[in-house]
Amino acid sequence: MSMNTKTLLTAPIPKLYLSYLLPTLIAMLSNSLYCLVDVYFISKGAGSVGLAALNIAMPIFTLYSAIGLLFGVGGATVMAVAEGSHHLKERNQAFTLSVACMLIIGIFISIAGTVFLEPFAYALGSSEALLPYVKQYMLPVNISAFAFVLMYAASILIRADHAPKLAMNAMLLGNISNMILDYVFVMLFGMGLQGAAIATCISPFLTIIGVSFHFILKKNTVHFTKDCFHKNLLKRICSNGLGSGIMEISAGAIILLFNVVILHMADELFLASYAIVTNIAYVCKGLLNGFAQGIQPIISANFGAGNRERVKEALKVCICFASAFAIIVYLIFLIFPQGVAALFANGDGELITQSATGIRLYFSSLLFTAMITMIMYYFQSIEMGKLSTMLAVLKGFVFIVVSMAILIFLFGIDAIWLSVTAAELFALMTAVMIIKKGRLLA
């Protein structure tokens, strides 16, 4: 048993969790912040029309991250379980197969997304008026699809190889560079939306270069292997990661659904305010994923080793940490909604007022989101991927559509802000019922 494996199986859970959590949160925060930097500079360089176009294009990032999380979380789970049960060959196979699948799928999307750019933009809900702006932003992003897919998975896979600090540093390299280049391209060179897109596209390449030093410096304990293409292994990876992938896809689907409803029932001001809210939500979601991803290697390794009590303790610890974070953040949003909105509204009084209302209502979902996210990652970490996938489908598609339809019918378009809160609450209630009925924490 290696020293790293022994630490996962014997060290005190809270201290061990913090050693994974802090680098993960810093990486997630930097990853999320560059999206807010995009919003800020686009609002400065292209106004509310640019913000509306950005929000139309945003779901494309959820597609890339969904694929990255599918193979990143799925591969990392198999790697950690195999490590806990001392099946090191299987650990290498899972790592190699995950990377290979992402490369193949990512390159295909890069080609298809570039060739069919205009139909892609319309499929995301673009209007005729917004089409030129949406295409301007999406072209470089689609070309770089394969790099985005690899970037979203890289930190998870490297973290599963006991290198959370390297994963953090690689993400920081890409994200800080993106923030600097946003200023250079948008403000100094006056390149507008396209400049913001190019800055964003450079980020994943730099992150991948940073991650490669894990292997260049021979800090790795996992290795690439030719013997990796096994049908059952691929099925296992996909089963474990599908819940995370669907959560990402559903986030994009929610944005798309909101965009369509808002464009039909409200105006571009409402859509611009939703662009601000959804980008703040992207940061919060990323950080909550960080709380869950930080505990994943610990739960999976101990599950593989048969340490059930440590598995239960790890789940409770991460739920407590994530819930405390959600409560604190929502209190800030509740007390200072206009101050938060003003950071991204470029002095537009109407936009600040509209966005402040959205912030107060939309983020009432945070505590429920925190708890259900931890539970879903827990199911994936103990290789109960079907349960996680079912919950992801319910909360991300079924419950959100039903909640939105009922609330808008009863109270009008302003009630759209509470749709996510209702969906997350129903999902949490469902998860608690499943846990109690199946005695999954007994």
Residue type, 242: L
Q: Please tell me what DSSP assigns to residue 346.
A: T
Measured CA distances, 32 to 61, 107, 118, 320, 402 (Å): 12, 24, 27, 22, 29
In this predicted structure, the answer to whether residue 32 has a pLDDT above a threshold of 80 is no
CB 191 within 8 A of CB 185: yes
In this predicted structure, the answer to whether residue 72 has a pLDDT above a threshold of 60 is yes
Tokens 């990486």 belong to which residue?
27
Rg from Cα positions in the chain? 21
Residue 108, C-beta contacts closer than 8 angstroms, at least 6 positions apart: none
> How far apart (Å, rounded) are the C-alpha atoms in residues 433 and 143?
44
H or E, element range at 272: helix 268-304
Mutual orientation of helices 231-265 and 268-304 as an angle, nearest 10°? 160
The pLDDT of residue 170 is 92
The pLDDT of residue 276 is 85
User: If we measure between CA atoms, which residue out of 294, 345, 342 comes closest to residue 321?
Assistant: 294
The predicted-structure confidence for 385-433, as pLDDT tens digits, reads as follows 888 889 989 998 899 999 999 999 898 888 889 999 999 999 999 999 9
The pLDDT of residue 133 is 85
**Full DSSP string of 195-228:** HHHHHHHHHHHHHHHHHHHHHHTT--S----STT
The average pLDDT across 260-288 equals 84
Which of 105 and 345 is assigned the larger pLDDT? 105
In this predicted structure, the answer to whether residue 359 has a pLDDT above a threshold of 90 is yes
CB 167 within 8 A of CB 24: yes
Highest mean pLDDT among 41-50, 82-91, 143-152: 143-152
| pLDDT band at 3; cut points 50, 70, 90 | low
The pLDDT of residue 2 is 55
- Give me the residue spans of the domains in the chain: 26-438
The predicted-structure confidence for 214-257, as pLDDT tens digits, reads as follows 888 888 888 998 888 888 999 999 998 888 888 888 877 787 78
The pLDDT of residue 316 is 94
Measured CA distances, 139 to 118, 177, 235, 352 (Å): 10, 20, 33, 30
DSSP-H helix ranges across 85-191: 88-115, 117-123, 131-143, 145-159, 164-182
Q: Please tell me what DSSP assigns to residue 389.
A: H
CB 111 within 8 A of CB 251: no
> How far apart (Å, rounded) are the C-alpha atoms in residues 406 and 403?
5
Q: What are phi and psi of 88, to 5 degrees?
A: -70, -30
Our separate counts of H helices and E strands in the chain read 18, 0
Which of 328 and 39 is assigned the larger pLDDT? 328
- For residue 45, the SS3 value is helix
